């Protein structure tokens, strides 16, 4: 019987969870709709979270389920894309929660996002803050949390929701990787002075947090932020540029000018969503991880400088091989 079942095991975070779980001797069953890259002793079962029957069959015997499957990084504003986000993130999570209950699992760990909090706040956001999700992705993750809470409460299963900060690291498919490529190709422009602060988290630390949550006693339903200490946006940019060996522009686009231009472009339908993206770039995103640190003894092991160095090294190895 597997100790842990991991959904989305072929994904960026899922691969890290499975690798760490197997390394410490846990019995692991990996599931994903895509082919799985793991060898024995990891048990691989191809299953889609949008197929309730298929995942119910795959979940048998799991004591704990770490649900890392989901859809992210969708910047297309079309309704079809929003519909897909809700289907995968909300309905997929509901299917997983039901399957875990029917399989007799005792604990469900749902990977969520700090994006559910919505607008940035001046102080560090903790788990007591109200959620005001903005955009299809954040709303789909918020609704996924609610579905999981309803189903697990009814079934009497313990639920832990982990709201992760922006992930980065080797094989990164997300925002930090896009920023890295922009700097490498010479397209980066400073908007603002980069003094706003961001919370990011290396994939290895996020995977370890998921396993810590699975092994930590607790209440029926718990919600935790998981993040590294916030850092200035300019630190992230400067460290990436240094590792890439690229020069950055010495001048900055003033924030008021950039916002006015973004508004004009949006009115002309030249660049839908650019204003929201710009505000996100300029915002402070700071999240307190104190509650999870106290409950599970979590601390960050991969510092920002080391993590970005490793991501750039991975990126260079991939670009050289193409």
Per-residue confidence (pLDDT) for residue 224, from 0 to 100? 98
Q: What is the reported pLDDT for 278?
A: 76
Question: Using one digit for the tens of pLDDT, what is the confidence trace for 169-198?
Answer: 999 999 999 999 999 999 999 998 899 999
- What is residue 33's predicted lDDT score, i.e. its pLDDT? 94
Phi-psi region at 8: left, alpha or beta (left = phi > 0; alpha = psi -120 to 50): left
Q: Quick one: CA torsion of 126, 69, 209, 226, rounded to 10 degrees?
A: -20
- Per domain, the residue ranges of the chain are 4-169+201-228+287-301
Q: For residue range 82-97, list pLDDT tens digits in order.
A: 889 999 999 999 999 9
Q: What is the pLDDT of residue 76?
A: 45
pLDDT of res. 129: 93
What local confidence, expressed as pLDDT, does residue 262 receive?
64
Q: What residues of the chain score a pLDDT lower than 50? A: 75-78, 270
Beta-bridge mates of residue 252: 190
Q: In 3D, which of 54, 8, 52, 45 has the Cα closest to residue 210?
A: 8
Quick one: pLDDT at residue 80?
56
d(CA 31, CA 221): 24
43, burial (CB in 10 Å: exposed 0-12, middle 13-18, buried 19+)? middle
Q: Which residues, including other chains, have CB under 8 Å from residue 234's CB and lie 6 or more apart?
A: 193, 194, 195
Q: How far apart are the first and last CA of the chain?
A: 41
Q: Does domain 4-169+201-228+287-301 have CATH number 3.40.50.720?
A: yes
Q: Per the structure block, which two tokens stand in for 199?
A: 């919370």
Cα 67 from Cα 161, distance rounded (Å): 10
Residue 268 has a pLDDT of 54
Do the Cβ atoms of 101 and 62 come closer than 8 Å?
A: no
For residues 230-262, b (16+ Cβ closer than 10 Å) or e, as one string? bbebbbbbebbbebbeeebeeeeeeeeebeebb
For 151, phi then psi, to 5°, come to: -70, -45
Q: For the sheet containing 158-164, what is the strand order?
A: 43-46, 28-32, 4-7, 64-67, 107-113, 158-164, 221-226
Whole-number pLDDT of residue 75: 45
Per the DSSP assignment, residues forming a β-bridge with 160 are 109, 222
Distance of CA 263 to the CA centre of its chain: 29
Q: What is the pLDDT of residue 273?
A: 60
């Amino acid at each position: 019987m597997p100790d842990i079942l991991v959904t989305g095991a072929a994904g960026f975070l899922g691969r890290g969870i499975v690798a760490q779980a197997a390394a410490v001797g846990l019995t692991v069953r990996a599931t994903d709709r895509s082919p799985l890259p793991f060898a024995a002793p990891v048990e691989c079962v191809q299953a889609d979270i949008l197929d309730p029957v298929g995942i119910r069959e795959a979940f048998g015997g799991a004591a704990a389920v770490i649900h890392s499957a989901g859809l992210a990084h969708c910047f297309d504003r079309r309704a079809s894309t929003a519909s897909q986000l809700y289907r995968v993130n909300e309905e997929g999570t509901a299917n997983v929660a039901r399957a875990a209950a029917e399989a007799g699992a005792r604990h469900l760990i749902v990977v969520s996002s700090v994006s559910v909090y919505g607008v940035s706040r001046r102080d560090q956001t903790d788990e007591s803050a109200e959620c005001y999700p903005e955009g299809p992705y954040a709303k789909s993750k918020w609704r996924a949390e609610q579905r999981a809470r309803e189903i697990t409460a009814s079934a009497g299963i313990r639920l832990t929701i982990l709201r992760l900060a922006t992930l980065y690291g080797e094989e990164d498919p997300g925002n930090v990787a896009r920023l890295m490529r922009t700097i490498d190709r010479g397209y980066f422009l400073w908007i603002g002075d980069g003094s706003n602060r961001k919370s990011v988290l290396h994939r290895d630390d996020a995977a370890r947090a998921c396993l810590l949550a699975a092994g930590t006693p607790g209440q029926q339903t718990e919600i935790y932020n998981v993040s590294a200490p916030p850092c200035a946006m300019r630190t992230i940019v400067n460290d990436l540029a240094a590792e890439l060996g690229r020069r950055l522009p010495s001048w900055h686009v003033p924030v008021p000018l950039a916002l006015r231009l973004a508004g004009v472009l949006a009115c002309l339908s030249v660049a839908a969503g650019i204003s929201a993206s710009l505000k996100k770039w300029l915002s402070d995103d700071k999240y307190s991880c104190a509650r999870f640190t106290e409950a599970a003894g979590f601390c960050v092991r991969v510092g920002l400088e080391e993590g970005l160095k490793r991501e750039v090294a991975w990126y260079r190895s991939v670009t050289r091989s193409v």
